[in-house]
Structure 1
């Protein structure tokens, strides 16, 4: 089974939803690399999920407008790809 990168939005309800999803993945014996967030920066929410979920913070992608290869490439420069590669 391939390792999982959980992607979570940074909006209302994210903490509960993400913690429950992490628990379900672990109960299914999935290896979770960590959580990557999508949306506006919410440092308190992101920190809470990482701590309560006992997981890694892999970064955050903002909403991209316009979505293009250039903006996507620039945004992915903030993602912890070194950690992800160690699991592959």
Structure 2
């Protein structure tokens, strides 16, 4: 199932499908965070926060032809917040 299809179904109430996005992107987001902040515990925390933020705002996500993870500035923002 493509990201856009999963998101559409989650928006329609099939919230259990969100786990597919987590499984698909968890490692990539974690690695990105760890690379930028070099702290394992904090990278895990930020990764969790990112998925919570995505889930909280999934209803306003609009597909503009890019994958969810590429459109998600939440990861960058959370890493920057950690540095400050």
Which structure: greater helix fraction? 2
Same fold (TM over 0.5): no
Pick the TM interval, shorter chain: under 0.3
With CA pairs under 8 Å and 6+ residues apart, which has the higher RCO, 1 or 2?
2
TM-score (norm. length: structure 1): 0.26
Which structure: greater strand fraction? 1
TM-score (norm. length: structure 2): 0.27
